[in-house]
Amino acid sequence: MGNTEILIVGGGISGLSLAYFLLAKNPKLDIKVVEAEKKAGGKIITEHVNGFVCEGGVNGFLTNKDSTLALSKKLNLKPIRGSEESKIRYILINGQLMKVPTNPVKFFFSSLLSFGGKIRMLREYFVPQLKEEIDESVESFVSRRVGREFCEKLIDAMSTGIYAGDPARMSMKSCFPKVYYLEKKYGGLIKGLFALKKEKKDVKAQPETVLMSFNGGMSDLIKELESSLKSHILKGKKVKSIDKNGSFFCVYFEDGESIEANRVVLATPAHESARILKQLNSDLSNILETIPYPPLSVVAFGFRKEQVGFGTSLYGFLVPNREKRKILGTLFDSSIFPNRAPEGYVLLRSMIGGRRAPELAMLEDQNLVDYAFSELQDLLKIKGEPEFVKIFRWEKAIPQYEIGHEEKLRQMEKILKEIPGLFLTGNAYRGVSVNDCIENSHKLAEKLI
């Protein structure tokens, strides 16, 4: 295959956006993106079936960061805004779906927490700051500062919704750094929120954070990136290994071909990067192998609106571990964005598996459907059978930032300094969202240029 200046391995959102940013800065750059699968996009996958627009993975992005919005504008893509109903969220508490108020005062007077739980939450103001710098779990941090009930009912559910993770293993510093550093900087969460509110009075008001997507689903972003990159992408090319030959990298493919590159960026999942790097640097490979990716399955159902007795005007609901249910939560995609279901129908997507119940994610199709449908029948008062079912399986789904994650990053950076020209990017390191991936690709493009 000859040689290239920059070879990007992995055609997910990280690899594609990196290539786009590099070529935008220098159109003459010799860049190739190689993707093992026949399609690009990684876990961003949208399928249009029988009038339903089903997301296999992420269903949107938030406007709290400018990265995805800015890229969309450059690609002449017009994002669509989530409905007002997308702000209505529920949590399963003691077997009942309870609405989560967005107003702090209404939240305090809601029945989400017991009276004792509310008092414990307010006492956070007087909880002393933990002085030593330790990598504390999400469960430990939240329980220590706000109380165990708050953690078990709310933070557990949120951790499940974002990471499909286990708060007892997740690193607070790596998963929720902004909250972690409120304590470090201000001495506590309530103190920090008061301080931030005071600081914001001196700056221009920030726009509201809203959920966005695209008319044809999140894969619209992938399609536009592919179109802009054209001949720079090679699909169905799985990298077998990498070696270093002087100032060049030799990249070997499973089909027997090889290519030389001045610089190589691995934008693949950590476990894939570990496999590829085994021959080049076993120490780096071994660290990458320790980043867990639990399995997760998404079961999508199509119902007529009148079949759902609970109602359909909401974003969805999350299920804390204490409820001992088979599903992690359910999204009402047809209520969040337009045209996700035919007229008169609803599209629901339930998640099964994750870090706490990995064995459930890989059940047979019928078992997956039966478990999810049984839960929805009970919680949403559904009558009759679904008219549409679609399953998406991810044997290795969301990377887990567990205790020790930051130390792993430090060790990897130290090793990478000894291998000039080799770079790692993707959602396994510093943020799992689409926004994070695009932002990190932009930063890496600046560094490479």
Residue 199 has pLDDT above 90, yes or no: no
**Nearest one of 174, 351, 158 to 166, comparing CA atoms:** 158
Q: What is the mean pLDDT of the chain?
A: 95
Domain positions in the chain are: 3-40+218-292+400-448, 63-72+77-85+294-394, 113-200
Mean pLDDT over residues 109-136, rounded?
93
Mean pLDDT throughout 311-326?
A: 96
CA dihedral 412, 414, 415, 417 (to 10 degrees): 120
- Whole-number Å distance between alpha carbons of 158 and 154: 6
Is the domain spanning 63-72+77-85+294-394 CATH 1.10.10.10? The answer is no
The mean per-residue pLDDT over the stretch 377-385 comes to: 96
Strand (E) positions, 79-204?
80-81, 89-93, 96-99
CATH topology of domain 3-40+218-292+400-448: FAD/NAD(P)-binding domain (3.50.50)
Model pLDDT, residue 202:
53
pLDDT bin (cut points 50, 70, 90) of residue 104 is confident
Give residue 198's pLDDT band: very low, low, confident or very high (50, 70, 90). confident
Contact 248, 408 (CB under 8 A): no
What is the fold, at CATH topology level, of the domain defined by 113-200? protoporphyrinogen ix oxidase, domain 3 (1.10.3110)
- Position 131 scores a pLDDT of 83
Predicted confidence at residue 2, as pLDDT, reads: 67
- 133 falls in which pLDDT band (50, 70, 90)? confident
pLDDT band for position 284 (50/70/90)? Answer: very high
What was the pLDDT predicted at 208?
A: 79
The pLDDT, as a whole number, for residue 246 is 86
Q: Model confidence over 10-65: pLDDT tens digits?
A: 999 999 999 999 999 999 999 999 999 999 999 999 999 999 999 999 999 999 99
Q: How far apart are CA 64 and CA 206, in angstroms?
A: 9
